[in-house]
Amino acid sequence: MSQEITYAHFAKALQSLDAGASLVGLNADLYCPIKEGRAPDTGSLLAVLERPTGMKAMTMGNLLIG
């Protein structure tokens, strides 16, 4: 996952969704474990787009278990 995502990326994604794009993500994990504790994962970033659109993202992978 890119660690350089910006507000502009989310704004462009929201505009694309408003224009009819599908909301698809690799997985719905809210966080991933890292040495220092936890870091936001794909599900957290998808939520930024799900809330304003009312859409539910289609995800392809498994949820983090543990």
∠ CA 63-8-24, nearest 5°, is: 30
Contacts of 27 (CB under 8 A, 6+ apart): 41, 42, 43, 59, 60, 61, 62, 63, 64
Break the chain into its structural domains and give their ranges. Answer: 7-59
Q: If you classify domain 7-59 with CATH, what class do you get? A: alpha beta
Of 56, 50, 30, the C-alpha closest to 42 is 30
What distance lies between CA 39 and its chain's CA centroid?
A: 13
1-60: pLDDT as tens digits: 667 899 999 999 999 999 999 999 999 999 999 999 999 999 999 999 999 999 999 998
22-37: pLDDT as tens digits: 999 999 999 999 999 9
pTM of the model: 0.79
